[in-house]
Amino acid sequence: MTSTSNPPDCEIVFIQKNTSNSSELIASIVEMDRDEFNRAWTKNDWDVFLQGPSDYLLQAILVSGSLIGYGLWKLSKAEELAHLLKLHITISSRKNGLGALVMKEAIGKLETLGFNFQYLEVEESNLPAIKLYEKYSFHIVHRKDKYYSDGKSALFMKRGLE
């Protein structure tokens, strides 16, 4: 678990597989996902992913010591590829540049670790997220109708995979 320096009241903590004990923070992220994310994973989904064979980078965003968001990347070392699975900032903390800070810090950390290529899926109607990802050089490469369980379409975006 490592943290980066940011505005005085904001801290981004990186959690990687097989690193120091961060179970309490992970439990808070799982709870936030369940309570606030529109496509929440079950606790079992989280357990299977975090304890499974996949490597990952998990970000916890803390403001004044309180969790206000998280990001989750699945890592594939052989392909130098990182897949953004989840990015969430609490509604009350949005529009303060925290999403941009999370993306900037994550991309820097990923590239330092050798993951030079990133991709993600985003709901086609989530314009603020799409604008954020475009700001960090993600480009739309594909649209998939009815991708999500609620029938909504997704855009697939990539960065560094030219």
103-142: buried (b, 16+ CB within 10 Å) or exposed (e) per residue? bbbbbebbeebebebbbbbbbbeeeebbebbeeeebeeee
pLDDT band for position 4 (50/70/90)? very low
pLDDT band for position 7 (50/70/90)? low
Say if residue 122's pLDDT is above 90: yes
Residues 15-47 pLDDT 10s: 877 666 578 888 899 999 988 887 789 888 998
What domains lie within the chain, and their CATH numbers? 2-119 (3.40.630.30)
Phi and psi (nearest 5°) for 16? -115, 160
Say if residue 87's pLDDT is above 60: yes
Note the pLDDT of residue 150. Answer: 86
